[in-house]
Amino acid sequence: MKFRATPSLIKGSIAPVVTPFTADGAVDTEGLRRLVRWQLESGSHGISIGGSTGEPSAQSVAERIAAMRAVAEEIDDRVPFLPGTGSTKLEETLEITEAAHKLGADLALVITPYYSRPTQDGLIAWYGTVAREFPDQPIVIYNVPSRTAVDIAPETVATLRRAHDNIVGIKETTKDFEHFSHVLHKCGRDFLMWSGIELLCLPLLAIGGIGFVSALANIAPAAVAKMYELYVAGDHDGAIDLHYQLAPLVELLFVETNPAPAKHILKDLGLIESGFVRAPLIEPTPKGLERINALRAQAEHLLVRPSL
């Protein structure tokens, strides 16, 4: 929890790592630790586990907490730790958030509850409960309407920010880029914002965002981190060039449902033993693999094999 007291220091490329499974579907804890070591070696500025890319809805609470524990131990306060702690059930969200707090999480990333489609007043009550239960834990709202079927309104975010000092930021995973600006305008530019949309990661920095939590960092961590570093160093042309070099890999990630394509690449790179994804997801189909391989060929130089 080295960064918990100063969340504004949590900048740059935060890698939302996949949860590796064995070929028969069990959580591969050693594979997860190996991924974290590779991320640190590659220069990622922080690590997240338990967001959409980590398949949390296909895991038990015990599995999610065990994965968080492995990641926290491997990071050992070297970079910020931002676990996803949300669920569609309030009791589970509180249980996982409590575990994350005890494990030293710098931020708790709490997704809007999925499937139930709460009203904005319902979201205010939901996040208010989490914030009050853990007043010493900085909370980040995770807005991903394509997954949850609910979009948290900028006015709602501002209401929560005013009511709770420990609601410090938001991960925006919406393709409505105007939404980003509305949130920062209503909440103040000191409100922390990370992008979860790959092709909006670089643009967000221009309007006041402080980084990104991008699935792309799973397969090209060094390049994604470098894009941020180039931008903040003032080399905007270099950052833009890298943004476009990465574009084929962004498309690759979503040829079929994330994280199946990412796990295929990670297996091929020798980082995980299996590309297994839990039902209802499936590993890439032959047609999907054909497209994945074609896109990979366009940016192979950005896929650096680990030295571990």
Q: Phi, psi at residue 27, to the nearest 5°?
A: -65, 130
Has 142 been annotated as catalytic?
Answer: yes
Q: How far is CA 219 from CA 115, 215, 258, 296, in A?
A: 29, 8, 12, 11
Residue 265 CA, chain-centre distance (Å), reads: 18
213 is in an annotated binding site: yes
- 48, β-bridge pairs: 16
Q: What is the dihedral of CA 7, 10, 31, 66, to 10 degrees?
A: 0
Has 171 been annotated as catalytic?
Answer: yes
Q: Which of 142, 226, 231, 263 is catalytic?
A: 142
* Cis, peptide link before residue 203, omega less than 30° from 0: no
Two structure tokens written together for 67: 């994965």
Q: Which of 11, 171, 226, 263 is catalytic?
A: 171
- 81, β-bridge pairs: 47
Query: How far is 219 from 198, CA to CA, in rounded Å?
Result: 13
Contacts of 128 (CB under 8 A, 6+ apart): 160, 163, 164
Position of tokens 């130089």?
A: 301
- Identify the helix (H) or strand (E) that includes residue 132: helix 120-133
Two structure tokens written together for 131: 């914030």
For the annotated binding site for pyruvate, the residues are: 53, 213
Residues designated as active site? 142, 171
- Known binding-site residues equal 53, 213
